[in-house]
């Protein structure tokens, strides 16, 4: 597994997780799905940390050459997505005009 694949998996996991957990999506499709989701599924869609674990599973399966590496990559990809979320979330709440 190359660093490029790991970085791509982290970025893709962040993007999909952010879309589902924090965005409305095109034509409010994601917001409608989130509103319709029952109980634990709906709560999962609202929690970036929880959701990133599940979104990271297919990424880890795709980039890992064997099950040992996939098992290690799974939380690493989720953790990388969480770090990106923390970095970008703190900046998005700053008032405009500040650096």
25, 20, 23, 36: CA torsion to nearest 10: 70
How many whole angstroms separate alpha carbon 87 and alpha carbon 64? 26
* pTM (two decimals): 0.83
Tell which wins on pLDDT, 18 or 40: 18
How many whole angstroms separate alpha carbon 54 and alpha carbon 52? 5
Residue 99, pLDDT score = 47
Percent of the chain with pLDDT strictly greater than 90:
61
How many whole angstroms separate alpha carbon 9 and alpha carbon 46? 21
Tell which wins on pLDDT, 43 or 49: 49
């Amino acid at each position: 597994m190359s660093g490029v694949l790991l970085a791509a998996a982290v970025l893709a996991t962040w993007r999909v997780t952010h879309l589902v957990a924090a965005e409305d999506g095109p034509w409010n499709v994601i917001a409608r799905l989130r509103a319709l989701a029952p109980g634990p599924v709906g709560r999962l869609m609202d929690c970036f940390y929880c959701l990133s674990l599940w979104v990271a599973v297919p990424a880890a399966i795709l980039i890992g050459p064997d099950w040992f590496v996939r098992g290690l990559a799974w939380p690493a990809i989720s953790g990388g997505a969480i770090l990106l979320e923390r970095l970008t979330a703190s900046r998005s709440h700053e008032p405009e005009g500040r650096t």
